[in-house]
Amino acid sequence: MNELITYSNGLRLVVNRNPSVRSVAAGIWVGAGSAEETADNNGISHFTEHVMFKGTDKLNAFEIANAFESIGASVNAFTGKEATCYYAKSIDEYTEKCFEKLSHIFTRSAFKAEELDKERKVIIEEINMVEDAPEDICFDLLAGTLYENSPLGRTILGPIENVKRFTHNDVSAYMDELYNADNIVVSFSGNIAAGEADKLVRKYLLGEIRSNKTVKKEKKSIAVKGGCAVRIKDFEQSNIGISYKSLEFRHPMIPAQNIFNTIFGGSMGSRLFQRVREQLGLAYSVYSSPLAYVKNGNFNIVLNITAANTEKALRAVKNEIDRAVAEGVTREEFEKAKIQLKSAFVFSEESVQNMMTSQGKFMLLANELYSVDKRIEEIDAITLNDVNEFIKTTFTGGNVCAAYVGKETGVDVLDIIKG
């Protein structure tokens, strides 16, 4: 059962009660991510997330970690393009202690200069680590090409020069702008009733968070010009990303996209996996994966291959794209994919972490309660014709970009995919 409570200051609480488990996951979601940043402060969302755990007015960094570990709980956070989430998970008997500490960190972090200086070194190491991760480089290049000159095209980590100069004042100003009650969702999932969650929010968080009115940038659909970004590096494997302009978050045809993704490259039985890896042996990893944002979306195809196989692998992928456009998917593939997706949604209910994440994201980005039953109804409502229309709409025209990271091959990725 999912419930929503909205407070007078705009804070929203969503609760998914699951009395069959003995654990509770709690998340504090903020509408703050790299898509809300400018070129000058790119990386501030991720920086803020990191330094939130470096000490409060009462606890140092070790005491924060120990407060959770001493009750067998876990605590962490992540930053995305459109949201940041701080979360903790514990057995149900320690839910209050866990949420008290999570709220304390969220509202009382001190952001001392010496702690910020320590953590900026850690973040710079994280940025450096990306340079040794070809798939991460590829995704960043792909986003930069697809969403050129827009916040969605910037990296979440930001450039090193920005990270080096962020101060306590920068973090505080950013939080004053976006860490406000009307831009925050608290999400609980597990063995907790809505009334209990409400008491915890009122006791530890409601009166402590900012109530400034959040003025967010208007999000718009971004036109895709097409293009290919290339980074030549001496990696053993080459990474290729191909991205088509696709559907925004909560577009009514998202279920059709998900059905096609399952058929095309989202599982071991998919067309891409079976043809490119199993039959031709041209890639260790090949898959497709859609990404959806509030006003934008893209459908990605990713390959991890030996550089020498670049042209053969790309032509194999191109053949599968062309076959999908020309022939669509079969009734058998369609029905199988529906079953796979519905099963995945049902299985997700078994994880309090998954449900906390889904609930928080849906409420924050779509102002909508998340429901597995509704997701299944949406899948059931999709027809075979819907999926085949999605294929034709998405994979025809010039709305495609690409990125290549690896050894020099002389192969034009985009030329093959568009040819």
Average pLDDT, the chain: 96
238-245 and 297-305: which strand pairing? antiparallel
Which pLDDT band, with edges at 50, 70 and 90, does 217 fall under?
Answer: confident
Rounded Cα–Cα distance for residues 8 and 206 (Å): 10
Average pLDDT value for residue range 8-16: 97
Rounded Cα–Cα distance for residues 271 and 276 (Å): 8
pLDDT in tens, 256-277: 999 999 999 999 999 999 999 9
Task: Indicate which residue of 36, 49, 119, 333 is catalytic.
Answer: 49
Report percent pLDDT > 90 for the chain.
95
With beta carbons less than 8 A apart as the criterion, state whether 76 and 105 touch. no
> What are the distances in angstroms from CA 70 to CA 28, 65, 139?
21, 9, 38
Instruction: Please provide residue 110's backbone torsions phi and psi, each rounded to the nearest 5 degrees.
Output: -90, -30
Torsion-angle region of residue 306: left (phi > 0), alpha (psi -120 to 50) or beta? beta
Active site residue 311: no
Which pLDDT band, with edges at 50, 70 and 90, does 298 fall under?
Answer: very high
Rounded Cα–Cα distance for residues 163 and 127 (Å): 10
pLDDT in tens, 374-388: 999 999 999 999 999
Instruction: Flag whether pLDDT at 345 surpasses 90.
Output: yes
Average pLDDT value for residue range 119-142: 95
Instruction: Please provide residue 38's backbone torsions phi and psi, each rounded to the nearest 5 degrees.
Output: -105, 175
Instruction: Flag whether pLDDT at 149 surpasses 90.
Output: no
Average pLDDT value for residue range 139-153: 94
pLDDT in tens, 351-406: 999 999 999 999 999 999 999 999 999 999 999 999 999 999 999 877 899 999 99
